Amino acid sequence: MAAFVWVALFLALASPLEAGRNFGVESRPESDRVTGLPGQPPVEFRHYAGYVMVGRGVGKALFYWFFEAQGRAEKKPLVLWLNGGPGCSSVAYGAAQELGPFLVRSNAANLTFNAYSWNKVANLLFLEAPVGVGFSYTNRSSDLEELGDRITAKDSYSFLLNWFQKFPDLKSHDFYIAGESYAGHYVPQLAELIYEGNEGASKESYINFKGLMIGNAVLNDATDQLGMVEYAWSHAIISDELYAAVLKECNSFKEELGDGRRSNACTPAVKAFLRSYADIDIYSIYTPVCLSSLSKSSRLTKLVAAPRLFSELQEAWHGMRSMPAGYDPCTEDYVEKYFNREDVQKALHANLTHLSYPYSPCSHTEVERLPIHCAPHPQEVHECGPPSLGLQRGHGREGPGDVDEAQHQRDGTPSEGREGEEVGRVAGVVPQGAGGWMGGGVRGGADARHREGGGAPGPPLRP
């Protein structure tokens, strides 16, 4: 996977309740407990999967997969993981390919135990949201026409309130939200609803929210777009000429910040940029692509979250994101086949309504995006709608020097830049404290030269 820009925010909230302390695992829904999952290695921890109704009335349900922590689960926090897209499954990606305990790594009916699963340190919850993603469904077609950031946040919050009723023993645990990619929208927007809902909440509806963490997040269209172009140029994916053309014709994407306009030549320049990834895995540019995926002309994966301008160029963007992700370029194929198995769905209590379409890691429904304009200080996330995060999108080649520069900034001491210039923006770890919030960013990237604007995450060279 590409190097990550991680941002973690932790809110020191004292819980006004002791909910959950009088409950044990016997209070959990035994009907949701997963047993007999095909290919599962033997484990000592329990896991549960199923549906939780959201919204008013019936007919709208979100699918979840919950893994108890390995050892002393009653003492460990609860983490909700969300993938991006928008419209991509946290089960298909987060649970089955990235940080869950059971990884799908072949077409065979067996799962690989993940020695680095996050449930070694936390109780781990994966959610497929919004409706139409993965196994999550609605019986009202009108719901699919109203999808967007607002609905996703609202339904996810409703899911949590109802899920905690199913798992009351976990209400007293410290609760965190984490995610990647378009979860740069999902995570802070859900965090804002939880924060607001907790003000004056009853004992039953209070969520013991402690903080959030997002990686490689879609936060700012201008810097995200510029960063993608600079990364491609600095890694010889696009030429000097095309790089210069995109910056000139698109005015370095300053229009996204309300400063300047792009020319009519911006669109063909961006299309040419996107075509440069036609046969390259954008997540790992040195990794081979999956030949079976290339043979599927209609395949459209959406794990890559496009900034606004790039997403408008649908044909070119679809071609770019058709490349699979991960070190085994066929992993997504394995996952899709696994979750389409009838015995797997039965074990996970999934697809109870017999959906009219096969399981897919990503849906292809267009959604309403909330632009993240305001960039508040971390303690103001709850006051800014739609919420954003105050990030320093620093530059610099990966290496110890980046952390050294961050140290100089934290200590208030000057640092010399490359070729004797003073460095005003840094890459590395920048601890910040603001009110009850504590945040830090970890930057890994590669640029050809220092310039104002977006970041450029580097590709992975080793697992």
Domain positions in the chain are 6-215, 221-329
Pick the closest to residue 92 from 77, 80, 79, 102 (CA basis). Answer: 102
- Average pLDDT over the chain, rounded to whole? 74
Domain 6-215: assigned CATH number: 3.40.50.1820
- Are the C-beta atoms of 103 and 318 separated by less than 8 Å? no
d(CA 443, CA 457): 8
**Sign, CA torsion 81/83/87/88:** negative
Residue 286 has a pLDDT of: 86
d(CA 46, CA 354): 26
Residue 388 has a pLDDT of: 33
Tokens 């840094």 correspond to 426
pLDDT tens, 239-297?
A: 999 999 999 999 888 765 555 567 888 989 999 999 998 888 887 888 887 776 555 54
Q: Long-range CB contacts (< 8 A, 24+ apart) of 254-260?
A: 254/222, 255/222, 256/220, 256/221, 256/222, 256/225, 256/307, 256/308, 256/309, 257/222
* Stretches in the chain below the pLDDT threshold 70: 1-23, 57, 255-261, 292-327, 364-463
Q: Give the tokens for residue 358.
A: 């096969």
pLDDT tens, 333-362?
A: 999 999 999 999 999 999 999 999 999 998
Roughly how many angstroms between the first and final C-alpha of the chain, as a whole number? 8
What does the DSSP assignment read for 434-458?
ETTEEEEEE--B--SS--SS---BP
Residue 330 has a pLDDT of: 87
What distances in angstroms separate CA 119 from CA 100, 106, 422, 463, one per listed residue? 7, 22, 43, 19
Q: Long-range CB contacts (< 8 A, 24+ apart) of 407-416?
A: none
3-state DSSP helix/strand/coil percent for the chain, to nearest 5? Answer: 35, 15, 50
**36 burial level (CB within 10 Å; 0-12, 13-18, 19+):** exposed
Residue 12 has a pLDDT of: 45
What does the DSSP assignment read for 353-402?
T--SS---SB-----BPPP------GGGGGGSSS-----------SSHHH
d(CA 392, CA 62): 35
